[in-house]
Amino acid sequence: MTKTRTRGDGTDTPALPVELPEITEPSPAATDTSEDPHAAEPPPFTVVGIGASAGGLAAFEAFFSAIPRDSETGMAFVLVQHLAPDHKSILTELVKRYTRMQVREVEDGMRVEPDCAYIIPPSHDMALFNGTLRLLEPTAPRGLRLPIDFFFRSLAQDQHERAICVVLSGTGSDGTLGARAIKGEGGLVIAQSPKTAAYDGMPRSLIASGHADYVLPPEEMPAHLIAYAAQAFDKTTRPVAPSASSEDALTKICILLRDKTRHDFSQYKESTLRRRIERRMALHRIDRQGDYVGYLRQDPAEIEALFGDLLIGVTNFFRDPDAFAALEEEVIPRLFHGKPAGATVRVWVCGCSTGEEAYSIAILLREHLETLKQDFKVQVFATDIDPRAIEQARAGLYPSSISSDVSPARLARFFSEDAQGGYRVQKVVRDLLVFSEQDLVQDPPFSRMDLISCRNLLIYLNGDLQARLIALFHYALNPNGVLFLGNSETVGEVPTLFAPLNRKWKLYSRLERPRGAFVPTSVMRGPLPPASTDAADPLAPSTASRHKGKLDLRALTEQALLRHCDPVGILVNGRGEILHIYGRTGQYLEPAPGDAAMNVFAMAREGLRRDLTTALHRAVTHREPVRRPRLRVKTNGDFSRIDLTVRPEETHLDGILLTDFYLVVLETAAPQLAAPGTTASGTAGDAPTTGDGDNARIAELELELRAKEEYLQSTREEMETSNEELKSTNEEMQSVNEEIQSTNEELETSKEELQSVNEELATVNAELQTKVADLSRANNDMNNLLAGTGVATLFVDHQLCITRFTPMATRLIKLIQTDIGRPVGDIVSNLVDYTDLTDDVHGVLSDLLPREHEVQTRQGAWYLMRIGPYRTLENVIEGAVITFVDISERKRSEDAVRAARAFAEAIVDAVREPLVVLDADLRVVSANRAFYRHFRLDEADTVNRHLFTLSHHRWDIPALRDRLQEIQAQGGSFDDFAVEQTFPDIGARSLRLNARRVDPGEGQPCMILLALEDVTSPPPGDHLNQPMPRPPRPGHDRPA
């Protein structure tokens, strides 16, 4: 029995019999921090999901044929293919031919077992739940269903890091989103090599998403699967506890990651970090972590791949709908309550990934804004460590499968269908958001936030770092601000920082912390100890002694120095990007408005930016310390004097010298001693300053002028460099624009192809037996057709060798069955006076133009011979077809017609009265000799000309025109119609005309037969107007 589930908006969508659970790890902040989110014992074997569409049968054959027949894989294989819902599938029988393992068509509730293959039945969606396959009735319309994505997502939720998916041949992008879910759980993702796929749409989509671990032809996949499973899941080969060498290797891996990506993973939960590293090692079949360190140093691309694996990017719109419902009802109205009109509501979404969660919150805020009578501003800052995810989030383009997470009403209001397919977030929502790349652990936080959402991120960090982040969120929130965490996360045992608003859905309200507590600038730079239950100060140093058993004197000293001493150090690179901050920088730096930027120039306060720019530029150029004393910097409306020093620094990593480091030191300037008789401001009472005071002022002005000149010079050099870079960037952008236009055209074409191909095409291609039966039936039909028509037909190939002939062909060419394969020119024919058959066939194969000849047999029978090219269904020329149609009867008919025509023409010519035959347009078809002779006309000047234009239009007689047009339109005839007219050369004539309309037969145009009788009475002695004497017939003597 199959089931459906109902969405919150009342529409039915495919669902599991019981809601698929989200990842439900115990909260590390509330329980043992060493516990892993996926620490539950995995199932005893691996489940491999295989998705395919058009062209999938050939890929299935190659895949299963490559599985060793003499060994067991220990894995279960689940095949999900696009099948026509109204067509019985024979895929199960076909797959059985290629493997010895058991192949079963899935029934609802069937439990998966190792070394078995399971086939999805037609007209069903399928999911894996607690190791059991469940069938569901699809509710999406045909062409919009994504059964592969649906199954892969359930596989990820059920099997976690043991999930494996394979995407084979097919059109479209089904399987990409499901593979993303499996990759997010730490599973393995394999794509078929596009070159080996009959339809490469699905594999290319997966490869372009960056989630594919292997790109292989199907026949190579089983070996990689078996090797990966043996390496990744064979517990007997792993040590029970990490050794000293593995700890050292883990530290080195974190150093390599930090050097390559600028992100520190040393405080990630060790079990999570090790599991991801072991996954990469299994992919490359590396046994020891020390060897993997060497591999990372040799291949920087592997560092990027590991970095991508460590980023958890599983998200969707309104994930945990009940949690978002609680947010909408209990928190969103609270954010606006008590704020004056025109105020700004500020929201920070940490770890936003590809933006689904940030857009979900923005939609809730937009919906609430529309219910308010006052105007408010809303800013949603969405940040993530992954620049690729941020770019996708900025684009706001999502696949059509989001319709399963977003209600139809919200889809209509806040999304628009994109020409490339899928949905794009509308501007009314996107204008609320600012996306930026930010490392939550290292970069300074936002401040004055009303709501912070950090869901399903803390579970991957160790307990100390979680506590620091909780304190940082407390700092970033306004009083009574709200913190929104994931289902498996809490704020820990820190009652003085947050109070629960809704324990079930992890909503917490900010509490005021004790006065004098330390304010962090970032998690890594501020010395934030672990959270405690001490009501006086949760961040007190005594916490460290309780948790670690030993007082951390270094941390205590650093805290005291930062509280009571002024020096502030900022480590930057040559471009001014902040790498590390030491001390409190609020007096000198502030976040710039707009997109978040971790650049020291953008964050420098008024009065500091110019000198900081020139000093860093000089330090980079000359590699020497640069000092700028007594700079006048504005802070909160007041000016203060500071000393600026920029020092080049360098360090070594594994023997490599790293030099792109510069330490910016900011100190409060010492008070300048006033000249005798002057005040601190440089005056003596109200009298002007003189002497040393003037000299000091002049020197100060000269110093400022020199600094401005250096600043202008450095600015000029940077501008020239920027101009060159802009030119290069402009050329690159033009090239990219052309590529995008080309890509858009290709996408439009692909969209049309996808609409026409769809799932039925995949089924037809997969089930070849139906096509074989059709071809066999077509072959029988052709044989009977050729035999039944009586047309002699001969087939030859490019070499003019006979490939086939019909029985009738033996009457014209002396053929027997054994002549198949012989050149047609070698066979004796029964044709008379025709020896050009070979040349004509060569001509047809050369220019592909058909040829026709009328040929006669020795028995006197006539045939119409046609020679044409032989074209396959793929429009490939593979020879020629020669047909002979019996036209003997037609020839006899033509001879009879010619004889009858000659007889009729002889009779007409024998008549002494002029006769004219007109067509339907009253043009002359023919005339007898009496007509030409009597009116002095030539045949060339008469035939095909209009009657009324003859003899210089003398026949254009209105009465005659009317009578002829009446006959033409209505039929009938007229007799003895009298006409008098003067004609050239013969003068005035009186004529009596008789006309008849003649209808030759159905489909033939009518004709008019016009007879003329000259009844002119000639005057006495006038011989000019006498009719001309009839010329003598051939063979008779002329009159004397």
Question: Which residues are registered as beta bridge partners of 884?
Answer: 792, 865
Q: What is the pLDDT of residue 165?
A: 94
State CA 810 to chain mean position distance: 59
| pLDDT value, residue 544 | 36
Residue 492: C-alpha distances to residues 478, 481, 488 (Å) = 20, 18, 11
Structure tokens at 667: 């100190």
**Angstrom distances, CA of residue 475 to CA of 425, 484, 543, 566, 605:** 32, 15, 19, 21, 21
Q: Can you give the pLDDT at residue 529?
A: 35
CA distance 272 to 466: 15
- Given this model, what pLDDT does residue 754 score? 60
Asked if 742 is an active-site residue, the reply is no
State the number of CA atoms in the 13 A half-sphere of 108 facing the CB: 11
Mark whether 82 is an active-site residue: yes
**Separation between Cα atoms, residue 791 and residue 866, nearest integer Å:** 11
pLDDT of 48: 94
d(CA 600, CA 613): 9
- Position 53 scores a pLDDT of 87
585 vs 648: CA distance, rounded Å:
20
Q: How far apart are CA 276 and CA 376, in angstroms?
A: 44
Q: What pLDDT is recorded for position 1039?
A: 40
Q: What is the DSSP letter of 1030?
A: P
In what helix (H) or strand (E) does residue 192 lie, and over which residues does it extend? strand 188-192
Burial of 370 (0-12, 13-18, 19+ CB in 10 A): exposed
**How many residues appear in the chain?**
1040
Query: Exactly one of 27, 82, 209, 453 is catalytic; which is it?
Result: 82
Are 1010 and 1026 in contact by the 8 Å Cβ rule? The answer is no
Catalytic option among 53, 89, 401, 532:
53
Contact between 224 and 284 (Cβ < 8 Å)? no
Q: Which residues of the chain have pLDDT under 50?
A: 1-42, 236-240, 515-519, 521, 524-551, 561-562, 564, 674-690, 756, 759, 1023-1040
Alpha carbon distances (Å) from 676 to 77, 679, 682, 688: 93, 8, 10, 13
Question: What pLDDT is attached to residue 617?
Answer: 86
Burial 847-883 (b: 16+ CB within 10 A, else e): eeeebeeebbbeeebbbebbbebbeeeeeeeebbbbb
DSSP state of 403: G
Q: How many CA atoms lie within 13 A of 29 on its CB side?
A: 29
Active site residue 174: yes
Give the 3-state DSSP-derived string for 911-979, with helices as H, strands as E and coil as C. Answer: CCCCEEEECCCCEEEEECHHHHHHCCCCCCCCCCCEHHHHHHHCCCCHHHHHHHHHHHHHCCEEEEEEE
Q: Identify whether the C-beta of residue 105 lies closer than 8 Å to the C-beta of residue 92.
A: yes
pTM for this one?
Answer: 0.47
Does residue 104 sit in helix, strand or coil?
strand
List Cα–Cα distances, 718 to 157, 179, 614, 730, in angstroms. Answer: 52, 45, 11, 18
292 in Cβ contact with 254 (< 8 Å): no
Q: What is the pLDDT of residue 189?
A: 93
Alpha carbon separation from 1038 to 36, 281, 709, 1026 (Å, rounded): 130, 120, 127, 19
245 Cβ neighbours under 8 A, 6+ residues apart: 289, 290
Phi, then psi, of 676 in degrees rounded to 5: -55, 135
Q: List the catalytic residue out of 149, 158, 174, 386.
A: 174
* d(C-alpha 175, C-alpha 180), whole Å: 9
pLDDT tens-digit readout, 844-884: 999 989 999 989 888 888 989 999 999 887 888 989 999 99
